[in-house]
Amino acid sequence: MNALTTGIAQRIGGWFAKPSEQVVAAEQAALRSDRFRLEREADWKRLDAILRRMEAGRTRALSDEDLLALPVLYRTAASSLAIARETSLDAALVAYLEALTQRAWFLVYGPRASLWSWFRGFLGGGWSASVRGMALEIWIALALMVAGTAVGWLLVASNPEWYYALVPGGLADERVPGATRAVLQRTLFGNQDQSGMSVFAASLFSNNAQVSILCFALGFAFGLPTMLLLIHNTGMLGALLWLYHGQGLLLDLVGWLAIHGTTELFAILLAGAAGIHVGRSMAFPGNLPVMDAAAAAGRRAAQVMTGVVLMLVVAALLEGFARQMVDSTPSRLIVGGFMLVAWSAYFFAFRRGSR
């Protein structure tokens, strides 16, 4: 009985001893955290003070010593953060160091230019230089679009049933094989206030915007889906041209499309070229590793696609306003031709900047 009583007492004593050991361990961890903070807190506070001045736009008020010390203090804070995470110091300290290093990284390594400065540089030469850097791909995309238009025309000329396969039902409406000249002419003139025309134009714009995005997004598959998409989309254009040509309205259709179409089709051309550029860099990376070549091409293509979005916005404005105000074929051709010349001059004659 004495041995049993002694064992029970020892076990109970062990149970009561455990909480005190946990308290001691917690106190030791807190002590390590306090000592760690005291040894480095002066550098953290100095870094925080420098960051606050820079964030407030008072960088010129900083001394040369503070500016030279900024990258050193940042690396010190980053090292402290790594140690704090590794040794499981208190969560508040880790959160403080994470916030401090993030702010410091942005000011030491982040972009120096404001959004407005970047936009000025983008329009002032960056975008056009990126486009010129894809000259070969632009010619390839242009050849594919011309070929797609010719194929669409020839297919429906040989069998009008192809028209329904190339032109979606939502876009066709009254524009179908067998429609009279009066019906087709009514879709082009004197109906600016009719909702049906606006629906058609909006559907056409939506289709072209989707095609532009897909042309770029599918470029990673060595550009092959991009090429097929360019041919298919312009096949629809060829079918429409054939339809109106049959009623002697080809030039009128070209004029109606030209107002916003020169900008939209140019945007599709650039999007297709961007996708082909990415795909070609992956298929033929040259002396670079495939991923490095794709990354470099992707940066240029992404800048071009930023401009493509801007072009689609311009096309939407032209479609929404200019098309409503201009109702004659010569005037429409002038507007569309002006836009085509303006875009071409900006991309290929405006030589500021390089990429």
Q: Which pLDDT does position 352 carry in this prediction?
A: 56
For 284-341, the pLDDT digits (tens) are 887 878 888 888 888 888 889 999 989 988 888 887 777 667 888 898 999 999 999 9
Q: Which pLDDT does position 208 carry in this prediction?
A: 73
Using 50, 70 and 90 to split pLDDT, how confident is the model at 180?
confident
Within 10 angstroms of residue 151's Cβ, the number of other Cβ atoms is 18
Q: CA 210, CA 268: separation in Å to the nearest integer? A: 10
Predicted confidence (pLDDT) at residue 81 exceeds the cutoff of 90: no
Give the torsion through C-alpha atoms of 183, 189, 193, 196, to 10 deg. 40
Predicted confidence (pLDDT) at residue 266 exceeds the cutoff of 90: yes
Q: CA 261, CA 52: separation in Å to the nearest integer? A: 50
Within 8 A by CB and 6+ apart from 18, the residues are none
Q: Which pLDDT does position 24 carry in this prediction?
A: 47
CA 80 to chain centre: 36
Average pLDDT for 241-257: 91
Q: CA 319, CA 205: separation in Å to the nearest integer? A: 9
Predicted confidence (pLDDT) at residue 278 exceeds the cutoff of 70: yes
Least trusted range by pLDDT, from 122-126, 158-162, 241-245, 347-351: 347-351
Using 50, 70 and 90 to split pLDDT, how confident is the model at 353?
very low
Predicted confidence (pLDDT) at residue 142 exceeds the cutoff of 90: yes
Q: Give the residue among 259, 248, 239, 250 at the shortest CA–CA distance from 314.
A: 259
**What percentage of the chain reaches a pLDDT higher than 70?**
81
- Sorted by where each starts, the structural domains of the chain and their CATH numbers stand as 2-109 (1.20.58), 118-348 (no CATH)
Average pLDDT, the chain: 80
Q: Which pLDDT does position 16 carry in this prediction?
A: 47
Predicted confidence (pLDDT) at residue 134 exceeds the cutoff of 50: yes
- Answer with the residue of higher pLDDT: 326 or 11: 326
Using 50, 70 and 90 to split pLDDT, how confident is the model at 198?
low
Using 50, 70 and 90 to split pLDDT, how confident is the model at 273?
very high
Predicted confidence (pLDDT) at residue 4 exceeds the cutoff of 80: no
Predicted confidence (pLDDT) at residue 136 exceeds the cutoff of 60: yes
Using 50, 70 and 90 to split pLDDT, how confident is the model at 172?
low
Q: CA 69, CA 76: separation in Å to the nearest integer? A: 10
Residue at token pair 């005190």:
20
Which amino acid, 28? Q
- Answer with the residue of higher pLDDT: 123 or 265: 265
Max CA pair span of the chain: 118
Angle 48-52-61 from CA coordinates, rounded to 5°: 115
Predicted confidence (pLDDT) at residue 237 exceeds the cutoff of 80: yes
Q: Which pLDDT does position 355 carry in this prediction?
A: 41
Average pLDDT for 149-155: 95
Q: Which pLDDT does position 113 carry in this prediction?
A: 57
